[in-house]
């Protein structure tokens, strides 16, 4: 075990993009830490064994977590309760249970119901790509990204500090907040943007006067930026919306009001209202680049060389 590693053994339940990236990250940045892993899908377990993602990939979740100091649930948020129920009675004494789900109030409730005596500190690494599955993960996925932990007020400091150190070892910056605030922040920065991206790609493919082939051909005009996030994992996102319902509906309502205002400005030719908003939003983009949360490379660094 590495001197720096906050946990001597880790069990990862769910080996999709995030779970497999955690496994690869632990291997690279916390060498010596023992990794056990499990996925409910036997084919995924086979792939994970072939990729050598963990030291031990047994055929039950209970076996995977038996010796683990840290258990990380990396399944869609709608599957958290069932995944946690599989662990009941199998956890090591003093094991810390965490997760990576995109909604936190609902996940905390589900984990607590399934594991009433366990020490639980929910977490959410704000990172991902449009790809899914055990082969899509990579060790550096969390580097420079934020990981939000949402411990209860009553949680002792030591496990929270250890979990913070774990995510920092994977390269993430860590921030603490309440589950409720997390759900609101993520509704804005992630959930509603995804919902709108899904909607606009759906709307475009349903039009009678414009063919799908035209939409695809001319997507460089802006549309293609939406398609990337509308290509994210369908099960994961269905669950996020169903589990962060209240905050998503609230932000969506605000957005609808703002779109209606822009619609009216276009209809009535109010160029000043449009110009003012468009100038303000440009400044926010600059801040995101300044804070290192995106790349300043032109056009997301898409290739424009002669071979393109």
Nearer to its own copies, 40 or 138 (CB): 138
CB 228, min distance to its own copies, A: 6
Nearer to its own copies, 90 or 215 (CB): 215
CB 21, min distance to its own copies, A: 10
CB 64, min distance to its own copies, A: 27
CB 95, min distance to its own copies, A: 28
CB neighbour burial string for 26-42, b if at least 16 within 10 angstroms, e if fewer: bbebbeebbbbbbbbee
Q: What are the strands of the beta sheet with 123-126, ordered from one edge?
A: 123-126, 146-149, 173-176
CB 217, min distance to its own copies, A: 6
Nearer to its own copies, 88 or 274 (CB): 274
Long-range contacts of the stretch 249-252 (C-beta < 8 A, 24+): 250/184, 250/187, 251/184, 251/187, 251/188, 251/191, 251/192, 252/192, 252/195
- For residues 47 and 108, the answer to whether their CB atoms sit within 8 Å is no
Nearer to its own copies, 45 or 182 (CB): 182
Nearer to its own copies, 71 or 147 (CB): 147
Nearer to its own copies, 92 or 277 (CB): 277
DSSP E strands in 137-210: the ranges are 146-149, 173-176
CB atoms within 10 A of CB 306: 5
| 157: its two tokens | 């400091």
Closest CA to 31 of 128, 134, 139: 139
Strands 96-99 and 70-73: parallel
CB 4, min distance to its own copies, A: 16
CB 265, min distance to its own copies, A: 8
* Cα(130)–Cα(142) distance, integer angstroms: 15
- CA 30, 31, 33, 39 dihedral sign is positive
Nearer to its own copies, 118 or 188 (CB): 188
């Amino acid at each position: 075990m590495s001197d720096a590693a906050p946990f001597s053994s880790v069990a990862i339940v769910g080996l999709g993009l995030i779970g497999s990236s955690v496994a690869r990250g632990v291997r690279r940045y916390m060498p010596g830490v023992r990794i056990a892993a499990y996925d409910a899908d036997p084919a995924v377990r086979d792939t994970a064994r072939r990729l050598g993602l963990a030291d031990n990939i047994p055929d039950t979740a209970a076996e995977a977590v038996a010796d683990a100091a840290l258990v990380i649930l990396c399944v869609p948020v709608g599957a958290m309760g069932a995944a946690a129920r599989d662990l009941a009675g199998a956890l090591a004494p003093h094991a810390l249970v965490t997760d990576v789900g995109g909604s936190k109030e609902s996940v905390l409730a589900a984990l607590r119901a399934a594991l009433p005596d366990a020490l639980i500190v929910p977490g959410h690494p704000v990172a991902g790509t449009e790809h899914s599955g055990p082969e899509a993960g990579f060790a550096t996925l969390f580097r420079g990204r934020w990981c939000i932990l949402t411990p209860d007020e009553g949680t002792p400091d030591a496990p929270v500090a250890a979990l913070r150190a774990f995510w920092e070892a994977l390269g993430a910056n860590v921030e603490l907040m309440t589950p409720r605030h997390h759900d609101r922040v993520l509704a804005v920065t992630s959930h509603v943007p995804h919902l709108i991206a899904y909607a606009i790609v759906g709307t475009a493919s349903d039009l009678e006067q414009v063919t799908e082939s035209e939409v695809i051909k001319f997507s460089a005009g802006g549309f293609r930026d939406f398609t990337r996030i509308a290509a994210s994992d369908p099960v994961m996102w269905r669950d996020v919306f169903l589990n962060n319902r209240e905050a998503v509906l609230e932000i969506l309502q605000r957005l609808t009001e703002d779109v209606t205002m822009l619609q009216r400005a276009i209809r009535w030719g109010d160029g000043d209202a449009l110009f003012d908003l468009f100038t303000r939003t440009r400044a926010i983009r600059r801040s995101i680049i300044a804070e290192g949360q995106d790349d300043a490379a032109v056009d997301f660094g898409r290739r424009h060389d002669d071979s393109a």
